[in-house]
Amino acid sequence: MALVNFRRAAPAETQDARTLAAFLQGFSIEVMPRTAAKIADFRPLLPADTRVYIAHIDGTPIDAMVATAARLRAEGFEPVPHFPARIIPDAATLRDWVARYRGEADVRQALLLAGGIARPAGDLHSSMQLLDSGAFDGFARLYVAGHPEGNRDIDPDGSDRMVMAALRWKAAFADRTDARMAIVTQFCFEAAPVIAWADRLRAEGIRLPVHIGVAGPAKLQTLLKFAIACGVGPSLSVLQKRARDVTKLLLPFEPTEFLTDLARRKAADPGFGIEAVHFFPLGGIEATATWTQEHARA
């Protein structure tokens, strides 16, 4: 009598852990010079070659930005400084910053964005102007901002008309040049709006890969504060619902469920537009790094 071997199906939680681990490969993280300065050495926290974005808040000296980029490069990471158009006084300053980053920190990638200040410091006010400037010719990769739940600063009427028009322009720019580009988004907390947005981009022919923004583990009060300040849309209800549950109020909020839902979609549809995960370590760099270490190697 022949023996038949039956392979036992992996428990759902085990499969989910593997799916999530695969989805997390190649993640990136964001720091500011003042938060990076509190970390003695990033090497025990992050995988080698991790893309580390350096947020350029208005008022941060360019010396601090370049020094942070150089330090990250020396420790074996890929520094990705922000270039907020509205804080750059003029084209000469832009060229100087690019030259310093290239010469002092071997910067090869950059995030180009308008910036969150109301009044531009000079004539530059959009990432499209930065792309058109030619200052970033020769960069290995360029990133632009995405807003899965809209952006009231850009579309005050609550639509996404201007946001989508800008993404179409940027996708066309990538098509007509040799620029390798991707979209890095604002952080969200619910998978359904993100999935719908990514599917809409694909349907409209916007083929730029998406790096989805995610808030790292943090206290619920901290996340609510940042979410409201940053204009997070429908997915804010996830935090508000949790805040009503007193048993969870004091526990840190983790992105496990949100990312697992996205990971399942990516596993089922490899053409799904999300290429990578980008962490905003709102609860601290160490907390986010610890979470990624636990979930990226399942």
- Residue 26 maps to a domain: yes
Reported confidence tier of residue 220, pLDDT bands at 50, 70, 90: confident
Domain CATH for 23? 3.20.20.220
Q: What is the pLDDT of residue 7?
A: 46
Reported confidence tier of residue 162, pLDDT bands at 50, 70, 90: confident
Each residue's pLDDT tens digit, 5-63: 444 445 557 899 999 999 999 999 999 999 999 999 999 999 999 999 999 999 999 99
Buried b (16+ CB within 10 A) or exposed e, 189-228: bbbebbbebbeebeeeebebebbbbbbbbbbbebbbebbe
Torsion of CA 245, 284, 31, 163, to 10 degrees: 0
Q: What is the pLDDT of residue 4?
A: 47
- Residue 66 maps to a domain: yes
Q: pLDDT averaged over the chain?
A: 89
Q: For residues 104 and 118, give the distance between their C-alpha atoms in angstroms, rounded to a whole number.
A: 31
Each residue's pLDDT tens digit, 52-89: 999 999 999 999 999 999 999 999 999 999 999 999 99
Each residue's pLDDT tens digit, 105-135: 999 999 999 987 889 999 999 999 999 999 9
1 has pLDDT over 50: no
Q: What is the pLDDT of residue 242?
A: 60
Reported confidence tier of residue 252, pLDDT bands at 50, 70, 90: confident
Number of structural domains the chain divides into: 1
- Residue 110 maps to a domain: yes
289 has pLDDT over 80: yes
> Which residue range is the domain that position 278 belongs to?
13-295
- Residue 162 maps to a domain: yes
